[in-house]
Amino acid sequence: MERVLKNKKVLVTGGAGFIGSNLVESLLSSGNRVICLDNFSTGKRESLKEYLNNSDFMLIEGDIRNYDICLEAVTDVEIVFHQAALGSVPRSIKDPISSTDVNIGGFVKMLFASKEAGVRRFIYAASSSTYGDHPGLPKIEERIGKPLSPYGITKYVDELFASNFASTYGIEVIGLRYFNVFGRRQDPHGAYAAVIPLFVKKLMNHESPVINGDGTYSRDFTYVDNVIQANHLAAVVESREAVNQVYNVAHGERTDLNRLFELIRSLAGKYDNEILKINPVYGPGREGDIPHSQASVDKARRLLGYEPVDDVASGLEKAVEWFWKNLK
């Protein structure tokens, strides 16, 4: 990664989470002073333990729904990386109140606190769920449909608030629409675990993973280092055209769930031959799911200089190795 943010004071909300903790690690390694704000509702303390004695790191335990905490966290900060959210489409269908409260209410409080504190740039985790029922492939930033879940609605509303704050208050905003991110530190436990760590955990336990539907649904699975690259680029870009935009962050390829399972089984089978004998079982499709998702990353390439390094195969190889070492 060549163009990285250096020597700045930054805030990472949700910094104990999967993506957030990887971002904290990268920002510290490039010489930044990093504040992490997290309430540990989904993030893990263990993801931050190696940074607690780092003089360039500060942890604030608090909730983005508390405006005073937001104001405290952004004091003297130049750039905010807003990763905090309640993820998961199924979670939002089961509990739309909490998802809305955190993903919209918390987002607006964090954004307004940033404006009040004079934060220069606010980079936030947007979502491919914003595309909703739009049938076009690949997904292009300016063409979206109707969101299909409360989660998708919250992430779209965040984009509207960000755009409004940019024009009303002059704060620089950049939204990064993540597509099915996976990689190290991703949690395989709990009711809303993502498909890749869940598949790996099941296989490690010699259990058959459940594929929702017939396995032909496809996603643009995106290795976490591609996402970290995009956040750095969004922080350092100077072009006025590149600011106050939303970008797809993905690799730009589709992998269906059947193929995904085969790849993971093959990689995990290198560590345990018995895994190669395991087949998936098929269950009902998930409410709120779209059949296919694939991103165009042309806009991010053109305006940010984004160039994804890992495709799904190379990313899975790294991810499975990490899970094998850390989940046992």
Residue 15 · residue 34 · CB < 8 Å: yes
Active site residues: 151
Contacts of 321 (CB under 8 A, 6+ apart): none
Residue 124 · residue 14 · CB < 8 Å: no
Could you give the CA distance from residue 254 to residue 138 in angstroms, rounded to a whole number? 9
Residue 150 · residue 88 · CB < 8 Å: no
Q: Which whole-number Å values give the CA distances from 231 to 63, 147, 282, 296, in the listed order? A: 22, 24, 36, 17
SS3 state at 201: helix
Beta bridge partners of 177: 126, 248
- From the list 80, 166, 67, the residue with the least C-alpha distance to 109 is 67
Could you give the CA distance from residue 134 to residue 58 in angstroms, rounded to a whole number? 42
143-173 CB burial, b ≥16 within 10 A, e <16: ebeebbbbbbbbbbbbbebbeebbeeeebbb
